[in-house]
Amino acid sequence: MNRRARIEYGLGLGLAGLLLLVAIAPGLFAGAPDSVDIARRLAPPSAANWFGTDETGRDVYARVVHGAGTTLGIVGAAVLLAALIGGVAGAVAGFFGRLGDMALSRGADALLAFPPIILGVVVAATLGPGAVNLVLALGIIYAPVFFRVARAAALGEGARAYVEAARALGHGEWAVLLRHVGPNVLPTVLLQCVILFPLALQIQAALGFLGLGVPPPTPDWGASLQESRNYMTAAPWLAIFPGLALLVAALAAMLLGRGLQARA
């Protein structure tokens, strides 16, 4: 890695670490996200309210800080869910091949045929609002991507000499898959988690913006952007700061993903 790549990677690591800390322990950074103060409604950014206040006088900074756990938690859970389902199905399909592989591959293609946001809108609207349903919707979008990646990796590993050697030593097919092929497919799947994170984050935010995300008053960056729409000229800070938070989180994941890719 050259100097610039190292700086980018370091920046990604630093930002990701900070965001993780904010998501896990928001109380360290800000007060309550839901203390209403009508007297101070729609106040612009100031020393008391760094990011201003919203239409009920809630502190936007506190809502952005507390929104990290909701937004990043949902995206993280969704990516892991997709990785688990898609990764396992892909590794099994790629390793064994045959009819099951055919059927699963067709199914993955059918889901991948939709632009992700359109699939997300349909699934999220069908399941209804809520954090768990959002995780499921995002999981359905990205499981086929993991399936493809894991399938290709397992297909490649299955043809390697060490697999042949393990078979020759009398290990069963499932044992070879679990003990030899699986551990070699895992890094590829984990890297894919980081690469897909910023994409899933954008979809999560878009669904929140369309009103298909987490219902109020839970703080969530995309939902905050939805609520800010009525005050875009009167109180632009309501739209600016949650969006900046999304930008920083996506940037951190993107820098991290590039760094890991360069190292792999």
- Interface residues with other proteins (CB under 8 A)? 2, 4, 106-107, 109-111, 113-118, 121-123, 125-128, 198, 202, 205-206, 209-210, 222, 225, 228-229, 232-233, 236, 239-240, 243, 246-248, 250-251, 254-255
CB of 216 to other proteins, least distance (A): 18
CB of 67 to other proteins, least distance (A): 14
Nearer to other proteins by C-beta: 138 or 185? Answer: 138
Nearer to other proteins by C-beta: 36 or 125? Answer: 125
Nearer to other proteins by C-beta: 86 or 116? Answer: 116
Nearer to other proteins by C-beta: 179 or 263? Answer: 263
Helices (H), the chain: 3-24, 60-96, 98-112, 116-127, 131-158, 161-168, 173-176, 182-209, 221-228, 237-263
CB of 239 to other proteins, least distance (A): 5
Report CA-CA distances (Å) from 180 to 57, 105, 110, 154.
Answer: 57, 23, 30, 10
Q: Nearest to residue 224, comparing CAs of 68, 25, 63?
A: 63
Tell me which amino acid residue 108 is: A
Cβ-based neighbour number of residue 97 at 10 Å: 14
Radius of gyration of the chain (CA): 22
CB of 244 to other proteins, least distance (A): 9
Q: What is the DSSP letter of 43?
A: P
Phi and psi of 59, rounded to 5°?
-75, 120
Nearer to other proteins by C-beta: 71 or 188? Answer: 71
CB of 128 to other proteins, least distance (A): 8
